[in-house]
Structure formats: C-alpha cells, structure tokens
Structure 1
Amino acid sequence: MKIIGIGDNVVDIYQDRNEMFPGGNALNVAVLAKQNGAESAAFIGIVGTDVEGDHILDSLNKNLIETSHVRRAVGESGKAYVDLNVEGDRIFIKSNKGGVQAKLKLNLSVDDYEYIKAFDVVHTSIYSHLEEELPLLKQHLPVSYDFSNHFTTEQLEKVCPHIQFAFISGSDFTEVELEELFRKIHGLGTPFIIITRGSKGVIMSHHNKRYKQGIEEANVIDTLGAGDSFIAGFLTNHFNGFTIEESLKAAAQIAARTCEVNGAFGFGRQLTF
C-alpha cells in the first residue's frame, strides 16, 4: 500500500533530555506506516527554515519518505515542549502554536493533486486545518482523519461526510457517550470509526459492527506517538488486505513497540542551542 500524510509537523522538545524528536500526527503516521509495511509513503506540509526544520526533513529522508511536495517557509518550525510529570509520564507543556505553519495556509495545487492520486489513502488531522480541501481530496482517494480529543460537533459535521476513517482519542468516554458518537459519525457518512482508549484498548465500529482490541504488553519508556502508530498500523494492514481483526491486532503490536522508544519513531537530536 501507498500512504501520504498531509499537514502538521513539529519537533517535540524533551526538556528533561535536552533533545528534540520529529513529530506531528500527519508526519508520524506516514513514517510509521513506512516502517511497518507500506510500500511507499510521502509527506506534504510546511516546514520552517530553522535547525528544527532541517532535522524534520533529514529524519523524513532517512526513513525513505517522499518529500518532493514539502514547502519550506521562512520562520520557525512547529515546536512542542515536553516534560515529565510526577508519575514519570511525558506531557506537553507548551508550544509555539505551529510556528510558521500557523501564519500560512497549506493550499494544495493541481500539481499536488496529480501527485496525491498515486497513493491509496491520505491521512491528515484536526491540527492540519485541511477541512476546506477534504471535499476534493475524497474525490481522489480515501481520507483518514484524526480528531484527537479536541473536536466539536460542528467539526464532526464539517469533516465526517468527506472521510472514510475517523480516529478519536476517547479514554474518558462512557459507554453511552461512545454509542452516541458512533451513531453521530456513521450518520454523517463515515464507515470506519476507531476510538483509542488508552489502557482500555480500542473500540471500533465499521458500518455499526463493533470490534474491540486490547493493548499489547510493552516495556514502556515513552507513550507519545502510540496513537499515531496505531493509526499507521491499522491503515497499513487494512490496505495490504488484512481483515479488520488482523489489522487491529497488528496496530496494537506496533503501538506497543512505539512505547519502547523515545519519540514517536526515534531520531532524536541533542540540542546545542
């Protein structure tokens, strides 16, 4: 299968380690898919002209991610600052709100769409602000979209008619709230709904048929990026022809492995400034 991630990219700056790692949902999914069975993967986004931007592009190139349609814009790359809480878990402290990405809109050109058509699926996220492009994107290939846990009803109504796969972080949802969400999103036209629930595992609905997948054991070092790796694992296996159950199982295994490294997929670089 061939996958393209479009939109958000950052460096996650681990303050306790004085180290930065490439990240961002759309970028992570492309890289993790390539690492776990995708024939090819590409990324389109806006990257700053700083050291962090250089590291993002270098990491993509070393992971054999196609970057021919990446834009570089003068300014800061996206930065998210991460630290340890009292339980030893990594948490986001602050960010530069996307850096130069927040000042510019990623407008997909005719040339971009000709390029995108060669892929099997496109993945983007609520942090990528591509909602206006979704009606055209869906005419070319299936769209996967990560809502994280920051969505509104208005956003669901705007996005869900144009996507095939909805990924949601929902560890705090009650069973009643889950069922209401499934009904809402299916009613808007999205056939695949996957809700990750942290230690509770994953619940999925495909055309109102439910599936559950527990978490896999891991020697946990860093949980950041586990959700992105689950998305990458599911999409890669699904488009490679595996069943839903097999794809969910493989995705859980890939997410567990991600928890055993720092950063979503490693490639840390010590800060010297």
Structure 2
Amino acid sequence: MVRIAAIGDNDVDCYLSNGLMYPGGNCYNVSIFARRFGVESAYIGAMANDPAGRHMRNVLLKERVDIERLRTADGITAYCVIGHVDGDRVFLNNDFGVSRFIPDIDDFEFLSGYDVAHVGQSSALDQWLPEIAERTALSYDFAVRHEAEHIGKVAPLCQLASVSTSHLSHKDAVDLALTIKGAGAQWVLATRGRDGAILLKGDAQYDIQAASVEAVDTLGAGDTFIARTLVGLMTGEKPNDTLSAAAKAAAGTCSFHGAVGYGVPIDVPVQLDMAQAALKQSSPAAE
C-alpha cells in the first residue's frame, strides 16, 4: 500500500461565527485526507499539551494517522482566528505557537519508510527540503508564494509541486505552472478554487472544472485537492480520473465547517473581543 507522510504545520482554526475551533493546517489536513482516501499516512509536527493540542492529537488517532513522530512541546498550540464577511473568510490573527520545529535525523529516517513526504511552505521547513528529498519523493505546496528565486530552489526537488492560483486568470495560472515545471518539478498542480484546477506533466496539460456544491465553508478544499491528487499520482491512477475524484472530494469538504470537521468550543488564549473588533473593521459596512 502507498504510504504518505506529511511534515510541518498545524493549527486550530477558530471561527468567530459559531465559537468553535477546528483542527487544521496544510500538512495536518493532508495527512488526514490521505488516510481517508485509502492510503497509509503519518503526521510529523509539534503541538502543546493544551486543550487544542490534545483535541488535534485525538483527531489524528481517530482518523488512524500514524503519530509516532508527533512532538509535545511547552507553550501553546498554533491557532488562527477566522471571521466571515459576506460569506468570505477573513483571517484576523494567528499565533504559530509551538508548531514550528527543527526536524532531526530520526524524522528523516522515518520519512525514508514512506513513498512521499508532503511539506507546506508555511511550515518553515524549506532549509531541510533537500534532506527530505534525499530520502523520499517530495510533495510541496507553494500556496500563494510565487517568487522566482523560491521556485528555482524548491521545484527541482519536487515530485508534485502545488500552487494556489485562484486569484489568477487561467492563462496566468498556466504560465505559473509552466514556470514551476520548467524549474524542475515533475508534476505541477495549480488549484483555482471555484474555477477548478490544472495539472501538468511533461508536455501534457489536464484541466478540470470544480464540482458543483452548495458551499458551507471552503476552508480545506485546496488541501483536499492536493491530497487526492497526490494519492492518485502515487497509485498510478489516470490523471483525468485523479482530477475528477479530487474535484468531487474538494466539493465534499466545502459541505461542512472546518477543514476536516471535529469542531469543539474555542479554548486557546486568544482575545475574542479584539478579534471581533478587527472583523468589524474588515466589514464593508465599516468603510
């Protein structure tokens, strides 16, 4: 069976709209989605021994994700406070807490037992990407970081390079994907939100429209798309079949709150009154 590990970021996403916090973070989400899509998965990261960290750890166990290399560190678990304005997400404030860590030789050796390791750019692990890529295939999410110098350093290491292009035209999204492929990535996935996605390999380009859904919350949809695409590529699925399945899975994620679900009452040291004030200032009515 294909084995996928994710190493890097995690947080609890705190929703002002309902007072709940949901487990999240690109790498955390990919580890859970990969397991839901039928492969073995593991998550390497760091959380505190606080209510948020314990909840996130329990969710990983419930989802049957390997947490052998999950650290418990002194401090607070990372969090992000999210508001909504006219249905759109507004990121109000965040704290990386203990989520950023320095991997050690045991982490690298652990990854060598997996077919691919996924890392997100927000994990602050870029300097260790060559170490990871020496031991297994690398999947990397550039998210919205598009600088040429960064692409030039990371793309040559990538089996799959993902990038968020929902703010770009189709032409600009394709051009960016071609740039990443030209820099050395074997596969490039450009997710485009409600406009679907583009997948490149060699001279081939595959396009998919987003699946129709009555969206409740779009948080985690991109991570879903990345995880399902990665599973498809690693299992030898036909690219068009992979993209079709990924689009349906991403639509499914939009049908519930939080990236992976499991909302519980907010229990992190965030000043919600200040966040509410920031949300009011973000509202068009405040302008």
Q: What TM-score, normalized to structure 1? A: 0.93
| Counterpart for residue 79 of structure 1 | 79
Other-structure match for 2:32: 31
Match of 2:183 among 175, 185, 188: 188
Match runs of 1:56-135 below 5 Å: 56-85=56-85, 87-96=86-95, 98-102=96-100, 105-109=101-105, 111-135=106-130
| 1:4 alignment partner in structure 2 | 5
Number of the residue aligned with 1:166: 161
AA matched with 2:87: G
Deviation per CA, 1:92-124, whole angstroms, max 9, x where unpaired? Answer: 22111x11235xx32232x22222122111111
Measure the CA separation in 2 of the matches of 1:217 and 1:91. 23
Q: Is the 8 A contact 1:7 1:106 kept in 2?
A: no
Structure 2 equivalent of residue 13 of structure 1: 14
Q: Among 231, 249, 253, which residue is 2:248 paired with? A: 253
Alpha-carbon separation, structure 2, partners of 1:237 and 1:272: 37
Contact 1:121 1:141 in 2 (8 A): yes
Task: Report the Cα distance in structure 1 between the residues aligned to 2:83 and 2:224, rounded to whole angstroms.
Answer: 21
How many angstroms does 1:238 deviate by? 2.1
TM-aligned CA deviation for residue 151 of structure 1: 3.4
Q: 1:147 Cα deviation (Å)? A: 0.9
- Rounded to whole Å, the distance in 2 between the matches of 1:257 and 1:60 is 20
2:171 and 2:257 map into 1 onto residues whose CA distance is: 35
Of the candidates 231, 242, 263, which is equivalent to residue 237 of structure 2? 242
In 2, the alpha carbon distance for the partners of 1:168 and 1:228 equals: 11
Q: Which moved more, 1:238-247 or 1:181-190?
A: 181-190
SS of 2:247 mapped into structure 1:
helix
Deviation at 1:90, TM superposition (A): 2.8
Match of 1:147 in 2: 142
Measure the CA separation in 2 of the matches of 1:271 and 1:89. 20
Give yes or no for contact 1:76–1:99 (8 Å, CA) kept in 2: yes
The residue matched to 2:98 in structure 1 has which SS? helix
Is this contact kept in 1: 2:11–2:99, CA < 8 A? no
What does the per-residue CA deviation read over 1:108-154, in whole Å, with 9 as the maximum and x for residues that have no partner?
A: 32x22222122111111101111122112112211111111133222
Q: C-alpha displacement at 1:179, in angstroms?
A: 4.2
Name the count of aligned residue pairs. Answer: 267
- When the two chains are superposed, the root-mean-square deviation of aligned CA atoms in Å is 1.5
Counterpart AA for 1:106: I
Name the aligned partner's letter for residue 57 of structure 1: R
Aligned-partner Cα distance in 2 for 1:226–1:92? 16
Q: Is the 1:108–1:133 Cα contact (8 Å) retained in structure 2?
A: no
8 Å Cα contact 2:6-2:44 kept in structure 1: yes
Q: SS of 2:27's equivalent? A: helix
State whether structure 2 residue 131 is matched by structure 1 residue 136.
Answer: yes
SS at 1:43 equivalent: strand
Counterpart AA for 1:48: A
Identity of aligned residues (%): 34
Q: How far is 1:23 from its partner?
A: 0.2
Alpha-carbon separation, structure 1, partners of 2:178 and 2:184: 10
Runs of 5+ unmatched residues, structure 2: 269-287
Determine if the alignment matches structure 1 residue 42 to structure 2 residue 37: no
Structure 1 distance, partners of 2:252, 2:163, is 20
Amino acid of the residue matched to residue 219 of structure 1? E
Residue identity in the other structure for 1:130 = L
Letter in 2 for 1:101: S
1:122 and 1:144 in contact (8 A); partners too: yes
Partner SS for 1:13: strand
